[in-house]
Amino acid sequence: MKRLLLIAVLFAFAFSAQAQDSSMMIKEEKSVMNKKEGPMIEFENETIDYGTIAHNADGNREFVIKNTGTAPLLITKTKGSCGCTVPKAPKDAIMPGETDVIKVRYATNRVGKFTKTVTVTSNAVNKPTMTVRIKGEVLPAEGEAPVLNMKESN
């Protein structure tokens, strides 16, 4: 009887020790999974405000991006929300810790307020697809009447 009781206690002890080891392993795995490995993209600013600019002014701006990850970052695609917004991504990989730019050109021959988006697709593990914005207002050329938006005329 004592032998049976001793075996039961040893079995219970071994089972509880194994359960603790398993729960510790699960916690360690979750911790490793939360620390993402691979390329990670961060934008200095996700919105560029042109402010109020003259008709046919310089429409070129740059989004500064940084690879905060552990592997090379590749920008695979950039797409403007319309033909008046033309993005140009870097062709080369951005190494960990380095920065580069996505150039955006807005057609400033279009008079009035604007808000446009650029969709950026990359191999980043934190944000593989992001949308950044440009906004501003293009004034009419000298001698032209100001253009009223439909919302403003009501």
Domain regions of the chain by residue span: 1-30, 41-143
Give the pair of three-digit tokens for residue 153. Answer: 């005329």
Dihedral Cα 81, 82, 86, 90, nearest 10 deg: 30
- C-alpha triplet 104, 109, 110: angle, nearest 5°: 90
- pLDDT (tens place) for every residue of the chain, 154 residues total: 667 666 766 666 666 655 555 555 555 555 444 557 999 999 999 999 999 999 999 999 999 999 999 999 999 999 999 999 999 999 999 999 999 999 999 999 999 999 999 999 999 999 999 999 999 999 998 866 555 554 443 3
Record the pTM: 0.70
For domain 41-143, give the fold: Immunoglobulin-like (2.60.40)
| Enclosing H/E stretch for 131 | strand 129-138
